[in-house]
């Protein structure tokens, strides 16, 4: 199952999963139908504020990928941002636990820390903390640096950041590797590799490892 398949990493993840011949079924939770069809992909249009009504789709699923995420600017308010980046992933994780999902993979962010003074990082840290308490065999959090990929919406500041990161790419070695901008395809690949060989317990995959 993928939640957030229309997003930057989620769309890359879906494209790569379609190359895995062993997969029998991919459930995709979307707000509106994606503009494509594939025999193994089952699109489920859901109201993320009413996820409990979609819990039947969790039955028989062994792996859930949560790629939900927004920005405070796009969400409009801190409360709206928290709903997308904390409440929705936590509900999805709880439903995963209830229905016996074995592996849960969730994108958070570099710097995730529930005690952070930065609201964005604080929310990401809180969702990691609370999902970690659930009874799921393998819980995996992915903390990418600046994501490099083609976005639908315009983010001028982010585009400038990507240009700078690329220009200074040679500096991000050793301990600084976690701060190097990362292609969305590499994040998706890391998620699939982790889910293909799940390890028991909670795991944090840093951006440098995904590189």
Q: Which of these, 110, 63, 85, lies nearest to 4 by C-alpha position?
A: 85
Active-site residue, 154 included: no
User: Under 8 Å CB-to-CB from 103, ≥6 apart: which residues?
Assistant: 62, 63, 64, 136, 137, 138, 140, 195, 198
Active-site residue, 86 included: no
Overall size of the chain counted in residues: 211
User: Under 8 Å CB-to-CB from 95, ≥6 apart: which residues?
Assistant: 51, 52, 55, 58
Please say whether the beta carbons of 2 and 14 come within 8 A: yes
Q: Which two tokens stand for residue 3?
A: 């939640």
DSSP 205: E
Q: Which of these, 12, 17, 5, lies nearest to 147 by C-alpha position?
A: 12
Vertex 209, ends 208 and 211: CA angle to 5°? 65
Selecting among 37, 88, 102, 124, the annotated active-site residue is: 124
* Residue 153 C-alpha from the chain's centroid: 18
Selecting among 120, 179, 186, 202, the annotated active-site residue is: 120
So which residues are the catalytic ones?
120, 124
């Amino acid at each position: 199952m993928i939640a957030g398949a229309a997003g930057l990493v989620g769309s890359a993840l879906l494209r790569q999963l379609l190359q895995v011949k062993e997969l029998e079924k991919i459930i995709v939770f979307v707000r509106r139908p994606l503009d494509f069809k594939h025999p193994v992909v089952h699109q489920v249009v859901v109201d993320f504020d009413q996820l409990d009504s979609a819990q039947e789709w969790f039955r028989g699923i062994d792996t859930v990928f949560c790629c939900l995420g927004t920005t405070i600017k796009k969400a409009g308010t801190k409360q709206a941002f928290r709903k997308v980046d904390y409440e929705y992933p936590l509900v999805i994780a709880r439903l995963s636990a209830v229905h016996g999902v074995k592996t849960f993979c969730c994108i958070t962010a570099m710097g995730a820390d529930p005690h952070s003074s930065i609201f964005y990082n604080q929310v990401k840290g809180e969702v990691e903390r609370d999902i970690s308490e659930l009874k799921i065999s393998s819980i995996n959090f992915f903390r990418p640096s600046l994501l490099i990929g083609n976005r639908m919406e315009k983010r001028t500041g982010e585009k400038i950041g990507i240009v700078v990161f690329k220009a200074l790419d040679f500096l991000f070695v050793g301990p600084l590797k976690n701060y190097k901008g990362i292609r969305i395809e590499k994040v998706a690949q890391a998620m699939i590799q982790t889910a293909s060989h799940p390890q028991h317990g909670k795991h944090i995959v840093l951006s440098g490892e995904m590189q």
